[in-house]
Amino acid sequence: MTQGLSARGVTKSFGETHALRGVDLDAPFGAITALIGQNGAGKSTLMGVLSGTVEPDAGTLHFPDEATRYRPTSPLDARRRGVAMVHQELSLCPHLSVRENIFLGALPTRFGLVDWKAASRLTREALAPLEGDEKIDPLATVGELSIANAQIVEIARALRVDAGDATSKVLILDEPTSSLTRADVARLFDRLRAMRDRGYAILYISHFLEEVKAISDRFVVLRDGKTVGGGETAATSIESMVELMAGRAIGSLYPRSDRDVGDLVLETRALAGARPPSASDDTGSATLELRKGEVVGIAGLLGAGRTELLRAIFGLDAVTRGTLEVKGVSGPRSPHERWADGVGFASEDRKEEGLATALSVAENLTLSHKPSFFIGLRTEARAAARWIEKLAIRTKGPDQRTEDLSGGNQQKVALARLLHHGADVLLLDEPTRGIDVESKAQIYALIDAEARAGKAILVVSSYLPELLGICDRIHVMRRGTLGPSVDARTATEEALLAEASS
């Protein structure tokens, strides 16, 4: 009999879309269980069922054992029953204090007034199981905390309403490391292991399989709304996990064909744009070269200035000093002029900046290079259909709204726009952030094919195995300054990280 949170035969449909098709899941106490699968596999819907935001059509939930039925009517009801979920996007109020966030709407009172002394004491008690050596001040403003500590506050708030022994708690974490530095990830993992050892059941959702291997004890794989496998994490290779997720062997995750490096198409000398968060007023410059048929990567910690560099090259941010030449054109240009020159940019923030998600796939895909008005929407749809097929974009058709696609398919739409436009210099900022392994493999294959066809590609990524796998050369950016490039074939993850952190 399972002691923890379990699901049996859970199904859920939204109209004609079958999100869950009889899912079985166990998240036992005293273990970290990873839930993995492609975008669109049903993970988000299942988490909604477990946390009380989605009502299942059929199936049963049990907590804390298989003799006790569990059917939450809301997230608050779920938390009161002992199941708390922390979403990828934190929902804290940055202008309020830690204690005000943890007790938002439920501050302790005494004689009709807020009992601030009790609020501080209870806040320290809520934070204590989650903190490491660094203690969080209950009076600190949340907006002044590091992302890692803000996440600890979010977890403490989620667990606060639960009562009883620590062994009757379930914590669900959705992509908890997407905005954390490597050091913050290590600290978070230490805290999660400590919670596991105190008897918590932790359900951990992530696209980063290296993290899954590092933190989880066991894993469950969803594919097309069904449970298709799982097991002990330590005894299972990443390749086996990928095959379970994809339903087939996907071959090499990082294809690298022979490429003919050609003419210089992008060159910067001591270039500086918007000042990155980590740079002082008098630091920051980038010198690099990019040639046809070449993939060049830029590594670095969050806030090092990588995004600012790409935005300055594309014309989204001003160039403050240094020289820039792209395809024989010297000096900064506007984004409109860069598009006209055949330079394409894919933003790291596809929902807010990269795509107009309320528009259709066809409208987004052709946004920068529209057919003639007199030709009409039919030609636009035909143009989109070609790229939908070539990039294997999973959509009902060119007219489907982009916001209804999974993250991986949205990213493919953003990249397809660059290809439809005919751009031959591609500036890609975190091109695989937040998408599943099979979609990553497809995007890596696309990058390889475009480089083989002679396009020049500059890639910013926080994921070092990705850069080592797809790039020819890699630069490391630190506090706004770009270091010299190294050959990706001889570089190591440890050396790149050491340079980024020095």
Please tell me the predicted confidence (pLDDT) of residue 165: 39
Residue 12's identity, in one-letter code, is K
Q: What is the distance between the alpha carbons of residues 476 and 486, in angstroms, rounded to a whole number? A: 9
376 phi and psi angles, rounded to 5 deg: 95, -175
Q: What is the distance between the alpha carbons of residues 477 and 475, in angstroms, rounded to a whole number? A: 7
- Closest Cα to residue 379, out of 369, 394, 389? 369
- Boundaries of every domain in the chain: 4-246, 251-342+424-438+449-502, 352-423
Name residue, tokens 């007199």: 374
Alpha-carbon dihedral 500, 140, 158, 163, rounded to 10 degrees:
130
Q: What is the distance between the alpha carbons of residues 119 and 115, in angstroms, rounded to a whole number? A: 6
Give 240-248's long-range contacts (Cβ < 8 A, gap of 24+): 241/36, 241/209, 241/212, 241/437, 242/209, 242/437, 242/438, 242/441, 245/36, 245/37, 245/38, 245/41, 245/221, 245/436, 245/437, 245/438, 246/38, 246/437, 246/438, 246/441, 247/223
Please tell me the predicted confidence (pLDDT) of residue 158: 79
Please tell me the predicted confidence (pLDDT) of residue 51: 93
- Closest Cα to residue 29, out of 234, 161, 170, 213? 170
Please tell me the predicted confidence (pLDDT) of residue 167: 38
Q: What is the distance between the alpha carbons of residues 44 and 109, in angstroms, rounded to a whole number? A: 37
Please give the CATH architecture assigned to the domain spanning 251-342+424-438+449-502: 3-Layer(aba) Sandwich (3.40)
CATH superfamily of the domain spanning 4-246: P-loop containing nucleotide triphosphate hydrolases (3.40.50.300)
Please tell me the predicted confidence (pLDDT) of residue 161: 56
| Encoded tokens for 313 | 């090259």
Handedness of CA 107, 111, 116, 118 (dihedral sign): negative
Which residues make Cβ contacts (< 8 Å) with residue 192, sequence separation at least 6? 32, 173, 202, 204, 215
CA atoms lying within 13 Å on the CB side of residue 95? 0
Q: What is the pLDDT along the chain (502 residues), one digit of tens a residue?
A: 468 999 999 999 988 778 999 999 999 999 999 999 877 789 989 999 999 999 999 999 999 988 899 999 998 899 888 898 988 777 889 999 999 999 887 788 888 899 999 999 999 988 887 776 678 999 999 999 877 788 888 888 877 754 333 335 899 998 888 767 677 788 889 889 988 998 999 999 988 888 899 999 999 999 989 999 999 999 999 888 888 887 877 667 788 888 999 999 999 999 988 776 655 555 578 999 999 999 999 998 777 889 999 999 999 999 989 999 999 999 999 999 999 999 999 998 877 787 888 899 998 888 877 655 545 566 778 888 888 888 888 888 888 999 888 777 888 898 888 888 889 999 999 998 877 777 788 889 999 999 999 999 999 998 888 999 999 999 999 888 999 999 999 999 889 988 887 6
Q: How far is CA 352 from the centre of its chain?
A: 14
Handedness of CA 438, 439, 444, 450 (dihedral sign): positive
Residue 466's identity, in one-letter code, is E
Which residues make Cβ contacts (< 8 Å) with residue 16, sequence separation at least 6? none
Adjacent-strand bridge partners of 202: 32, 171
